[in-house]
Amino acid sequence: MTDEFTHMSAAGIARRIRDGDVSPTAVVDAHLDRIADRNDRTNAFVTVTEELAREQAREAERAIENGDSLGPLHGVPVAIKDLDNVEGIRTTFGSKLYEDNVAEEDDLFVSRLKEAGAIIVGKTNTPEFGLGLATDNLVTGPTGTPFDPGKISGGSSGGAGAALGDSLVPIAQGSDTGGSIRVPAACCGVFGHKPTFGLIPEAGRPNGFSHHTPFSHLGPMSRTVEDAALMLDVMAGPDGRDPFSLPDDGTTYADAPDRPIDDMTIAYSPDLGTYPVSETVTSVLDEAVGALEDAGATVEHVDPDLGHTKEEIVDAYYTFANVLWGMLLENLQDDGFDPYDADREKLRPYLVDLILETDEPTMSAYRDASVVRTDVLDGLCDLFEEYDLLVSATMAVPPFDHDEYPEEVDGTEIEPYRGWILTQPYNLTGQPAATAPAGLTEDGLPIGMQIAAPRHRDEDVLAAAGALERQRPWHDAYPR
């Protein structure tokens, strides 16, 4: 029964708890036991909130005994990324500088998850300050994919992806500034949804406007599309503390994964018209796209025109991101750290290069990057006038060994640290984009399919991912 609990979906757990078949305490105990048994395998969790989780489980049981109204996630274990705050629990940001930092209050989305009845079982690993496409730091070390722990779990929500893929938790929260939900989802064979920008509010104090520059999104990660949709319903909704949060238009997402897609026309471009993608990845995607056709959708191969080369798009993205690095440096100094001298050795060399060796962009460079961003938006909008969705690879290559970043893709040279992802255009545009498991390579490594839609059409993304899951179920692929 314990193993059964840890391999159930969040929706399934919530239904059985509401029906009185299982207790929140039994569910939480099962997940805490599995974390204790298996976390060393992938290093998914930084902190396990055992005491908090057990107390929340007892409160959940009392609510059932008292006949209280139960939230949609009542009794369901959830993991929170270690960039985000849970009151009374440490938030390290993946940094030695904040190794003993304890949060004073919950982040807004954490409060919403708690109100929905979710039970927090721990904080998941992330690279320093979330800056990296592979999860590794000086606090807890690297996190590996459950399919082969010697290979990366992706970043920066790599701990969340690994925790899900190894069935340590049924749902987890991620954040995505350039692919940080979708890349780990691809590496760990799970589902991750980057919503329309502003759909999930982010208070972001002391600077409530800072997350607009790096296009930061909060989002759900899960083993099933249904669970992500359920989690999105809980996390979404306006809040005045986020000046970019979207108004409530009455849309709900829980039913979207079951919606037929036979009225959809889907554009398929493995490389988005400009990114190199390996034949290994493309062959898996080709089969997965066929499953969307089997589900009734019309799929057409296209060659999108994003107006710029991959290099120009990546350069534009990092022009904006360099503003974030500059703000991070100032925040560290405001907190009393000296990254240039006394605290430099507490930063990984990669982060030193980012925040100390990178010049902030000039106004001219920022303007030019904004033009590239606009051109990418226009190119995608032109495509979405004809198609409901655009499907591509999430990563150009399968998960690779820790610290062995790829320098080429099938003979085409790439920038090793960031040349193998196809996620950043949708951070520039704010459109919804998710990664769904497309299948496995001959070596048993997961490949992710990126599914994108026009702004405010998150339900279309969920519908297509749900159809893919029905046609090509991936649940049995997870390590047992």
Kindly report the CA angle at 36 between 188 and 435, in degrees rounded to 5? 15
Q: At 478, list the tokens.
A: 């997870």
Selection from 468, 420, 438 nearest residue 286 by Cα: 438
245 is catalytic: no
Helix pair 50-65, 24-42: axis angle to 10 deg: 160
The span from the first CA to the last CA of the chain, in angstroms, equals 14
Q: At 264, list the tokens.
A: 């959809």
Q: At 255, list the tokens.
A: 């039913």
DSSP 48-64: E-HHHHHHHHHHHHHHH
81 is catalytic: yes
23 is catalytic: no
- Are 420 and 409 spatial neighbours (Cβ–Cβ below 8 Å)? yes
DSSP state of 136: -
Count of beta carbons in the 10 Å neighbourhood of residue 231: 33
| Residue located via tokens 């534009």 | 316
Kindly report the CA angle at 47 between 43 and 51, in degrees rounded to 5? 135
Cβ partners under 8 Å of residue 168, min gap 6: 6, 31, 34, 35, 38, 39, 44, 45, 79, 162
- Are 477 and 144 spatial neighbours (Cβ–Cβ below 8 Å)? no
- Are 472 and 439 spatial neighbours (Cβ–Cβ below 8 Å)? yes
Catalytic residue among 9, 81, 114, 269: 81
DSSP 89-132: SB--TT-GGGTT-B-SS--HHHHHHHHTT-EEEEEE--SGGG--
- Are 447 and 441 spatial neighbours (Cβ–Cβ below 8 Å)? yes
Amino acid identity of residue 260, one-letter, is P
SS3 at position 436: strand
**CA dist., res. 480 & res. 474, Å (int):** 13
- Are 157 and 126 spatial neighbours (Cβ–Cβ below 8 Å)? yes
Selection from 112, 74, 70, 63 nearest residue 233 by Cα: 112
Catalytic residue among 9, 153, 156, 175: 156
Catalytic residue among 95, 180, 245, 278: 180
Active-site amino acid positions: 81, 156, 180
